[in-house]
Each structure stands twice: as C-alpha cells, then as structure tokens.
Amino acid sequence: VPEHEPDLQRSANWLAGAFRETGFPTVEVWPTDGGPAVFAEWPSPDPGAPTVLVYSHHDVRAAKDELWQQTKPFEPVLRDGRVYGRGTSDAKGQVLTHLEAVRALLALEADAPPVGLKFVVEGEEEVGSPNFADLIDRCRDRLDADFVVLSDTLTWSADRPAVCVGMRGLVHAALQVRGPVADVHAGAVSGVAPNPIAALAALLARLVDDEGRVAVPGFYDDVLEGSPEERRELAELTADEADWLRRSGTRAVVGEAGRSLGERLYLRPAIEIVSILGGDAVGASRGAIPAEATAMLQVSLVPDQDPQRVGDQLRDWVAANIAREVDYELTISPIMSPAYSTPPEHPAIPVLRECMSEGFGVPAGRMRNSGSGPAALLAQQLSAPVLFFGTGLPEDNWHADDESMAMDVLAKGATTLALFWQRIAESARPRETQ
C-alpha cells in the first residue's frame, strides 16, 4: 500500500540497525519495487562450516484499531509476559528470536556464530511476495546457502512444540457476479430480477460438500497422502480439540470427515471464502437489488497440487455451476504459491527436533504449517532445501486483533536456535578434528 511505504522503510532501517548492533559485519537494505528487504551476513570463521540462509519478513498485515483491546496495534506493550502489537508474532518476533540466539552465542565468548549466517528479511510477504522472486534472481550469489531456514511459522503449542516440515500453498481468487445492469429498486422488481447476491450464495453453498470435501472436480487428484507415520504423529499432536479451540478462538472444528484435526490443517487442501460484499452493506441503504456481488476465495494447497491447475479447475467449476441468469468474472491472482515439504531425509531435521526438545524442555513433535510462504520459491530458485523454525502460536492472533507473542517462547526459541547452529557446525566438522 503506497501510503505505508515510509513505514516499511523505517521498519527496514530499524532492523538493519539491530543486525549491525548485534555485530553482523555486512548489513544492507535492498530496495524492491515494493517494500524493501533487509540483508545481513556473518560468515563463519570455520571454512568447513555450513552456511544457512534465514528467511523471514518485517512487513505486517493491516490492523483495525477499534478491534484491539490490549493496546493500539502500533504501540506495543508488555503485559503478563506477552508483548502485544501488530507483527509481534508474525513475524518481527521471530526475527528477534534469531537475533537473541546470535547474541547468546556471542555471549558465550565466541567471536562469531559457529555457522555462516545470512538473513533475508523481506518487506512484502503479507502481499504474497510479488517482487521476491525478482530479488532472489538479482541477488542469487549473495543468498547462496547450504540450506534455508524459513522463520515465519507457527508451532503447535508452548507445551507441545513441534518441528515444521512443510507449508501449504496458496491461490487467491475473486469472483464477481453481475445481475441487473445497474442497482435497481428491490421493491419494484423483487421476485423477478436476477439477484447477484443470491446467485453468488447459491454457488458458494456448493463449494464444499456435506462431507467437508471441496466439490471442485479434480481438486484432490494430485493430493499426496501423508505417510502413515506423519498422519499418526499429527493426530496425536492435535488430539486435544478443546485446547485447540481455546487457543485458536474458532469455536468449533469443522471440515473434512475422517481426518484428524492436524491432517485437515496440514495435509489436506481447503478453500475458504475470506470476504463477500454485495449491495449497500455499509451506510445508507438504497433498498436496491445490486448490480453485482463479489467474494474473495483463498485456496490452501498441499503437495503435489499445482496452483495453475487448481486455478483452472476452479474456473471450470464456476462456469459449470453459476446460475445462467447472471454474468460473472473470476479473477485468479497471478501471485500464487505451491505447497512445500522439506526433503524427509534431510539430516538437519532430527538435529533441529533434538535442539527444540532441549530448548523447550519437552519432546518436540513434527507438524507442518497451514499457511503459506515463499518456501517453494526459495527452494527452487536457490536449489537449496528449506527447513522451518518458527515460534508463532495459534493464540498469537496472527492477522487479527490483539496480536501478541509470549516472551518465554521467544527465549525458548532463541535457545533452540543457538543449540541448532552449534550442533549443525559440529556435525559438519571432520571427525579427526573433534
């Protein structure tokens, strides 16, 4: 959003300063056609140590002041061990967790982190990273790494932490339905005019069937079933639905029959209607049947669904199911991302799980994330596997009001990362020098 360009620049400058204060020898703010990204680099003194690229973002979602109870969105406060404010958990707090980890390692009388560390903290994640592919392309040499750690994720709970091994993908679509040529007095034509709200509702009502499955033909064709082991672990991790409801604020668990909560969240695709508008919904009503009504859809993708193909399936389904009496326009956003899975045999996964267990003081499980991010883009463009480490929690209210982050989770996350960098460096060291 153009009016927030100065805010994004200020945010980038602040973060660059924080990297410099921590000791990073190279810190740069990279402009893009949208929000600027922050790049920081600290090579390892050990030429045999691996280099890791950490990805996160410093931009945030819009916030509605009037809905916030604890503080104003951009005036953070610390209360009862939680810091409240827009971006505290998604994802500024996750970047701070990394900085705290590096500071902790330096405090242990080291002169530099044990692994080569690069950070790219972008400024456009919340709008789908429209310029990030171009940025990676231009700066590929600077971003080169043995693997990527994407830190913009949720873990299951502070008591039941879990390593994330994948993220769903995302396709956005907007469907505009058109009835009368112009808004027309409902009293004068009710009962005979094609109502675009009714036609849109009738279509959307058919999007998900009685079993909670998306009714778009072909939608599940490319969906991979998770391994029996992962499905069992997910079912076990997410078994306490009452706990989930309390923390997510979602009041009820719905969705695909015969699948555990965790499976629905991470291994199954979904389509949600995130907005709808028709008629004089706000302000003075003209009592008219509106000329148009619009809904915005978000499709969550899982491996191996192809975003383009899903877009085509949605297009075919709308064409086949929309009422004949209305016109419509379906716009599939060109900003789309497929799902991503970390290669299951990557040796750093068990190391991270071990460090997270120590950092949080309880055994860490395995999960995925249901939201999306540029994981597939990073993996493909940098030809490097992507791992995930995030400290967000469902109760942190990402994108919603009263977003917050628990300080003790930040500390546990920092401990996990400090241990992780040490163990990764150790495991890369030739045996004879140990």
Chain positions 218 to 237 lying near a second copy, rule: CB under 8 A, are none
HSE-up of residue 393 (Cα within 13 Å, Cβ side):
21
Q: Which two tokens stand for residue 283?
A: 């302000």
Q: What's the DSSP call for residue 393?
A: -
- Residue 319 lies near a second copy (rule: CB under 8 A): no
Cβ proximity to a second copy, 70 vs 415, nearer residue: 70
Q: Please report whether residue 185 would count as binding a second copy according to CB under 8 A.
A: yes
| Nearer of residues 100 and 152 to a second copy, judged by Cβ | 152
> Six-digit token pair at 147?
């693997």
User: Given the complex with a second copy, which of 126 and 230 has the nearer CB atom?
Assistant: 126
Among the candidate windows 75-83, 105-113, 136-144, 293-301, which touches a second copy by CB under 8 A?
293-301
CB 342 within 8 Å of CB 388: yes
Q: Candidates 50-58, 70-78, 264-272, 353-361 — which segment interacts with a second copy by CB under 8 A?
A: 264-272
Among 284, 430, 431, 433, binds a second copy (CB under 8 A): 284
In the bound complex, what is the minimum distance in angstroms from residue 175's beta carbon to a second copy? 12
Min dist CB 9 to a second copy, Å, is 18
Q: Which residues contact 135 (CB under 8 A, 6 or more apart)?
A: 30, 32, 37, 122
Nearest distance from residue 97's CB to a second copy, in Å? 19
Q: Applying CB under 8 A, which of residues 175, 198, 336, 414 lies at the interface with a second copy?
A: 198
For a second copy, the binding residue among 126, 145, 318, 366 (CB under 8 A) is 126
Stated length of the chain = 434
Q: Does 201 bind a second copy (CB under 8 A)?
A: yes
Phi-psi region of 393 (alpha: psi -120 to 50; beta: other; left: phi over 0): beta
| Location of structure tokens 């993908």 | 169
Nearer to a second copy, 52 or 297 (CB): 297
320 in contact with a second copy (CB under 8 A): no
DSSP 91: T
Closest alpha carbon to 396 in 153, 38, 216: 153
Both tokens of residue 335? 């900003």
Nearest residue (CB) to a second copy, 238 versus 313: 238
Site string for a second copy, 362-401 (x = CB under 8 A): -------xxxx---------------------x--xxxxx
197 binding a second copy? (CB under 8 A): yes
Burial 250-282 (b: 16+ CB within 10 A, else e): eeeeebbeebbbbbbbbbbbbbeeeebebbeee
Distance CA 371, CA 339 (A): 9
- Between 207 and 355, CB nearer to a second copy: 207
- Select the span of 15-23, 117-125, 225-233, 244-252 touching a second copy (CB under 8 A): 244-252
d(CA 327, CA 141) in angstroms, rounded, equals 49
| Residue 406, beta-bridge partner list | 82
Report which of 13, 40, 151 is spatially closest to residue 91, judged by C-alpha positions. 151
C-alpha 18/C-alpha 385 separation (Å) is 27
Q: Which is nearer to a second copy, 40 or 265 (CB)?
A: 265
Site for a second copy in 11-70 (CB under 8 A): 61-64, 67
